Amino acid sequence: MKLKVGETIRRLRKEREITQEEFAEVLGVSCQSVSRWEKGTCYPDMELVPTIAGFFGISVDKLLGVDETVEKQAVERYRCDFQKAISVGKIEECIRIAREGVAEFPNNYTILNSLMYALFVSGSDDADIPNWKENMEKYDGEIVALGERIMKYCPDVDLRMEATARLAFQHCEMGRKAMGRAIYETLPNMEWCRERSIWWALEEEEKLSHTRKYMLEAFDHIMDAMDHLMHLLPAEDAIKVLDKFYALEDLMEDNHPRFATWCNVDNHYLGGKFLLKLGREKEALEQLRIAAEAAIAKDNRPAEEKIDSLLLGERTYKRVNCDTADSRPARIIFRDKYLAEPEFDAVRKKPEFQEIIKMLSE
């Protein structure tokens, strides 16, 4: 087994922001020796290995990289436990799992990113987290520190970009909008993204799956942008955008949309709000009924569901892969939060509205 001690020393040294000269001085060796270790030309003398491991606060095995397989297996267990907890809105459990993983593997960026995510989600005001506001304040410094560390040192591009975007959002949420924007500005332009550019380097057998995956991601981005647009336009125009949203979804999914999703609940709920503003009560109540059916379908969706279409190919959606900060069923969230909004007071006593509430309460 090839030892990766040089790579480990280089990574840990950079994380500590220590130069090769400074590290060499600590160990009493030449700067050239440290350089040769990091290049993999040679290994440190065995009597130095415990000193180096102790300096970085890790075990000798960790320094030598001989426990890499064990770490990967353990990290995967942490990741699976984390995903199971967040799929049902158990955010405190997610934080506990991530902290336990960080304690065991303090330099594993997958676990560090999971901890950052859990702390960030614990400050969501859109869920059943009673102390969300306190969490926002309490974890702000830790979220920023984790984000800056991942952004600066993580070798995994995807993890680094994810943490960078979340760090920027955290700054915006905490009123530091200028800092958030400055970080957002460092993210790659969509025109030069990997998904768009790598096609030319792919083998023929890779191109079909890649193209469909790229199209799915682009589709999701367009739908997200259309959702933003609806909130910026007057109700009459927002309804037209929503109609185009459904038409595009039917086109991409061959008229088999992902019905049992929160996105579907939210869109029909928005349609109900926009129609009510225009005085179209009957149509609004019909949209709310469809939203209620989608919420019930989301609660009853199977553990695994396959969807196939010409443009996007076959995809498998697993219930456990759904992230949420809310432990309540979707139908209860829709009933107690969304339908409780004052915009619906005008139709609250209507038989059709009462029937929707009854549907959601059964």
DSSP code, position 128: S
Nearest residue to 153 via CA among 113, 194, 206, 208: 113
User: How would residue 1 be classed by pLDDT, with cut points 50, 70 and 90?
Assistant: very low
User: How would residue 208 be classed by pLDDT, with cut points 50, 70 and 90?
Assistant: very high
* pLDDT tops 60 at residue 87: yes
Q: Contact, 173 vs 136, CB < 8 A?
A: yes
Q: Contact, 82 vs 94, CB < 8 A?
A: yes
Task: Report the C-alpha gap between 46 and 23 in whole angstroms.
Answer: 17
- Give the start-to-end residue ranges of the domains of the chain: 5-64, 79-187, 194-361
pTM score: 0.81
Summarised one tens digit per residue, pLDDT across range 129-178 is 999 999 999 999 999 999 998 998 787 899 999 999 999 999 999 999 99
User: How would residue 104 be classed by pLDDT, with cut points 50, 70 and 90?
Assistant: confident
Helix, strand, or coil here: 192?
helix
CATH of domain 5-64: 1.10.260.40
Backbone angle region of 89, left / alpha / beta, with phi > 0 → left and psi within -120 to 50 → alpha? left
Q: Has domain 79-187 been given CATH number 3.40.50?
A: no
- 288-310: average pLDDT: 94
Helix, strand, or coil here: 315?
strand
**HEC assignment per residue over 60-98:** HHHHHCCCHHHHHHHHHHHHHHHHHHHCCCCHHHHHHHH
- 230-239: average pLDDT: 96
Amino acid, single-letter form, for residue 329: P
